Structure formats: structure tokens, C-alpha cells
């Protein structure tokens, strides 16, 4: 059914968080939406509505950097026993793509393990959990149990649940544990400190690499308190900041806006423009032959000079999304030209950008204009955060030619 409300269409396909193995496997095995390719038969309006409502995942600098870091940490930790392996925290303001980054990494890891197959391959390579609001240690233990469907009775103590969780996670061979919304853990409170201690204990008992994501965690108690510091202190950091508008000089390739430090940080110079080898993420070719992979299109937005890459992550992301549009009359390149305007409207937050472009594309299909223009973008109200930030400038009054410097009024 084709609904007339773009918001309905946009939100319809937002999947619930894949916080059980069954849901995660379905998410990871589900082929990502494919942008139109030359020679493909045209898709129906309904198919295109569904396509734009999910839309592509762009390999932003943070995605590329996190993939590389996680692969490095997993390789480092593979044969390490007894002590906790080094971990990673993806941090940044809301709607900057932290969860998407985590899930993309999880999907890549899951598919790589599937491709490896054979004897010794993990049955359940990846776990993805959310920290529940006001989490206690027991609530966290239950989240771990729920992911794998481990039976828990009301009489079981937290210690018993933890033992069962660690045993099962190690038996099925979980290699990567991803914990989202880590900012909900507040080690300044006694329950929060207990929960942080419990998590640290699990990192020592489960033979997996732990990756966390949370809102601006460096300013929270997770980094400043003692209990939190035990957990966060050994973690590397990926900064999932809003995408900067301007070109900046970097020695690090496409990972430039994602900084990583701490134990296990990989050598930045290895970042390159290809992303991690063997990556299974949805790099697809758009209509004009460019990639939906924002990270490897540096020729369009930057230049490489002996290890120094000038990148414009925001522009590249706009280009990647524009190339992935499936609209019949859209003028290719018109959105890239509007990049400064789009940056002003979205403050460089990929969540607001994606929402704006997906809404505009869906409206363009429903009203049959089949293109996105400055006027159609102007007509869309964004989330409160973005609208607060955006103050349209008054139109610049053109100086009449006769008053221009060097010309005399007659």
C-alpha cells in the first residue's frame, strides 16, 4: 500500500534493535538496500518508497575507522587468555551514527565468520545488547541471557546467571560483544558502579572483544569515576562527531574525523582509502558509477598527495547519498552543490541529513516531481535539534550594478 504521509513511510521500516541472536542474524543476513544500477529494470513507486525509507548505509570515516579498529582488536585478543582484552568505545552526540556504526561492524564480522565457515567457525560470532535505563548488574546479566535465549529462573542469583552467561557465550564462540547506550551506566551511583564492575568482570570471563557506544561518554562518570575508569580506562575511543563541512588536512586517510586512541589503536597510516580488507558492507555503484561508499570516493572530494589526504566528509556523504537516490528526474550533482546549505540545516549530523534526504525523496515520489530541489528541502521541517541550530540567513541584497565599486552613478 502506498501511504500519503512521508513520515509514515520513512518510519515504517525502522527496525527494532536486534537485541536477540535471532533478530541480529536476521538483520545481518538481510541484504542491504541496493541503489539503482545501470541496466536494471525501473522499480515501481512502491518499491522505491520502501527503498528510500531504509536507504543505504554510507561508509563514513567513523564506520571505516571502527571496522579497522575492531578487526585489529579481535586479531590481538584472539589468543589472549585470562585478562580482559582491549576494548573500544564509540562516542559522540546523539544521531551521529554510533548505533549504525556498531551494527555495520557487527554485520561485517558476522558475514566474515559465515564466509570462513567450516570446523571451528563460531556458531554465534556477534552479540548486540542495549544497557537498560538505570541498569543494575542483574538487569545487565539478564540482557546477556536474553540475547542467547539462556533460560533463567526467578530463583537464580546474579552470580548463577553470570556463570551460565559466560559458559554459554564461550561455548557458542561469541567473538564480538557490542553494548549500546553505555552512557546509561552511571558508576557514580552504587547500582551503576556494581553494574560497571559486573561488566568488567564479564570482559575478563568471556573470550570476546567488547565494543561500546554511548552519548558523549568522555564527559560522563564512566570516564571520571573509579568504577567506570576500570571499564573505560582500557578502551580505545572512536569519536563519532558531526561531519565537518570544510576540507581538512589529514595524514590518516578517510578515518580522519574518527580519532582512535588507547590500547590496540591501529596505526593510522594503514587507514588507506579502501577500508578494511574483506569488508562486507554495502558498497554499491550508483547510477553514475560512483560509490555509495563515502570513504572511497576521495577523487570527487579530495586529493591525495603523498600520504596526505584532503577530505570533506560531509560533502562525500552527501555525494554518496545523492548517488544512491532512485528518482526519475533528479539532476545528479545538485545536492552536492547544496552541501553548504545542507550542512547548515543538519549541523553535520548524519541522522538529520539522512532523515532530510529520505523524506525529500519520498515526497518527490508521492508528488511525482521525482527530484529533490532547494525548495523541496526548504519545505521539510527537521527534528528539533537541527531546526534549533538552523537559522536561515536573510537573502543577500544584490548591490545594483550601477552602485558597484568602480562604477559611477550617472
Ligand X SMILES: Nc1ncnc2c1ncn2[C@@H]1O[C@H](COP(=O)(O)OP(=O)(O)O)[C@@H](O)[C@H]1O
Binding residues (CB under 6 A) for ligand X: these are 57-58, 60, 63, 92, 94-100, 350-351, 354
The least CB distance from residue 95 to Mg ion, in Å, is 8
Q: What is the 3-state secondary structure (H, E, C) of 376-392?
A: HHHCCCCCHHHHHHCCC
Binding at 168: pick from Mg ion, ligand X, none (beta carbon under 5-8 Å per type): none
Between 99 and 317, whose beta carbon lies closer to Mg ion?
99
Binding at 195: pick from Mg ion, ligand X, none (beta carbon under 5-8 Å per type): none
For residue 379, give the DSSP letter: T
Residue 170 near residue 45, CB atoms below 8 Å: no
Between 127 and 339, whose beta carbon lies closer to Mg ion?
127
The least CB distance from residue 106 to ligand X, in Å, is 12
Residue 321 near residue 336, CB atoms below 8 Å: no
Task: For residues 98 and 111, give the distance between their C-alpha atoms in angstroms, rounded to a whole number.
Answer: 20
DSSP reduced 3-state for 212? strand
Between 104 and 194, whose beta carbon lies closer to ligand X?
104
Between 135 and 240, whose beta carbon lies closer to ligand X?
240
Q: Alpha-carbon Rg of the chain, whole angstroms?
A: 23
Cβ neighbours around 366 below 10 Å, total: 16
Instruction: Give the torsion through C-alpha atoms of 342, 348, 350, 353, to 10 deg.
Output: -20
Closest CA to 354 of 386, 379, 393, 311: 386
Binding at 264: pick from Mg ion, ligand X, none (beta carbon under 5-8 Å per type): none
- H or E segment and range at residue 215: strand 209-215
Between 59 and 138, whose beta carbon lies closer to ligand X?
59
Backbone angles phi and psi of 375, in degrees to 5: -65, -40
The least CB distance from residue 249 to ligand X, in Å, is 23
Helix count and strand count (H, E) for the chain: 17, 8
Binding at 279: pick from Mg ion, ligand X, none (beta carbon under 5-8 Å per type): none
Binding at 63: pick from Mg ion, ligand X, none (beta carbon under 5-8 Å per type): ligand X
The least CB distance from residue 283 to ligand X, in Å, is 12
Binding residues (CB under 5 A) for Mg ion: these are 98-99
The least CB distance from residue 397 to ligand X, in Å, is 37
Listed in sequence order, the residues at least 6 apart from 179 whose beta carbon sits closer than 8 Å to its beta carbon are 129, 130, 131, 199, 210, 211, 212, 213
Between 26 and 116, whose beta carbon lies closer to ligand X?
26
Binding at 60: pick from ligand X, Mg ion, none (beta carbon under 5-8 Å per type): ligand X
Between 250 and 354, whose beta carbon lies closer to ligand X?
354
Give the residue at shortest CB distance from ligand X.
97
Binding at 280: pick from Mg ion, ligand X, none (beta carbon under 5-8 Å per type): none
The least CB distance from residue 240 to Mg ion, in Å, is 10
Q: How distant, in Å, are the alpha carbons of 61, 243, 338, 374, 386 from that of 344?
A: 20, 11, 10, 13, 9
Amino acid at each position: 500500500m502506498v501511504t500519503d504521509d512521508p513520515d509514515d513511510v520513512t518510519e515504517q521500516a525502522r527496525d527494532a534493535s536486534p537485541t536477540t541472536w535471532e533478530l541480529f542474524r536476521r538483520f545481518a543476513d538481510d541484504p542491504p538496500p541496493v541503489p539503482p544500477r545501470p541496466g536494471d529494470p525501473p522499480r515501481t513507486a512502491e518499491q522505491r518508497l520502501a527503498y528510500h525509507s531504509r536507504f543505504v548505509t554510507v561508509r563514513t570515516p567513523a564506520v571505516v575507522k571502527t571496522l579497522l579498529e575492531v578487526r585489529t582488536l579481535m586479531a590481538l585478543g584472539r589468543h589472549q587468555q585470562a585478562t580482559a582484552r582491549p576494548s573500544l568505545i564509540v562516542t559522540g552526540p546523539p544521531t551521529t551514527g554510533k548505533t549504525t556504526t556498531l551494527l555495520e561492524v557487527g554485520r561485517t564480522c558476522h558475514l566474515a565468520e559465515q564466509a570462513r565457515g567450516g570446523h571451528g567457525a563460531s556458531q554465534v560470532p556477534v552479540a548486540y545488547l542495549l544497557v537498560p535505563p538505570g541498569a543494575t548488574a542483574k538487569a545487565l546479566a539478564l540482557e546477556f541471557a536474553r540475547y542467547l535465549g539462556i533460560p533463567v529462573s526467578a530463583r537464580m542469583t546474579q552470580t548463577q546467571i553470570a556463570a551460565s552467561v559466560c559458559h554459554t557465550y564461550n561455548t557458542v564462540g561469541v567473538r564480538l560483544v557490542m553494548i549500546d547506550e553505555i552512557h546509561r551506566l552511571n558508576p557514580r551511583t552504587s547500582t551503576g558502579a556494581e553494574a560497571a564492575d559486573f561488566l568488567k568482570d564479564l570482559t575478563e570471563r568471556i573470550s570476546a572483544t567488547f565494543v561500546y557506544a554511548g552519548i558523549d561518554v568522555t564527559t560522563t562518570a564512566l570516564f571520571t569515576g573509579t568504577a567506570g575508569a576500570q571499564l573505560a580506562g582500557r578502551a580505545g575511543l572512536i569519536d563519532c562527531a558531526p561531519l565537518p563541512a570544510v576540507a581538512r588536512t589529514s595524514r590518516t586517510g578517510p578515518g580522519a574525523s574518527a580519532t582512535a586512541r588507547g590500547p590496540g589503536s591501529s596505526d593510522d597510516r594503514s587507514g588507506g582509502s579502501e577500508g578494511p580488507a574483506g569488508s562486507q558492507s554495502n558498497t554499491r555503484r550508483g547510477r553514475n558509477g560512483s560509490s555509495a561508499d563515502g570513504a572511497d570516493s576521495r577523487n570527487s572530494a579530495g586529493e591525495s598527495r603523498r600520504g596526505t589526504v584532503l577530505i570533506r566528509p560531509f560533502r562525500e556523504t552527501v555525494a554518496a547519498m545523492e548517488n544512491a537516490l532512485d528518482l526519475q528526474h533528479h539532476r545528479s550533482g545538485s545536492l552536492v552543490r547544496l552541501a553548504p546549505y545542507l550542512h547548515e540545516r543538519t549541523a553535520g549530523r548524519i541522522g538529520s541529513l539522512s532523515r532530510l534526504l529520505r523524506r525529500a525523496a519520498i515526497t518527490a515520489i508521492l508528488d511525482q516531481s521525482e527530484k529533490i530541489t532547494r525548495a523541496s528541502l526548504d519545505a521539510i521541517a527537521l527534528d528539533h535539534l537541527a531546526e534549533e541550530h538552523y537559522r536561515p540567513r536573510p537573502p543577500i541584497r544584490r548591490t545594483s550594478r550601477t552602485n558597484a565599486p568602480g562604477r559611477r552613478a550617472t
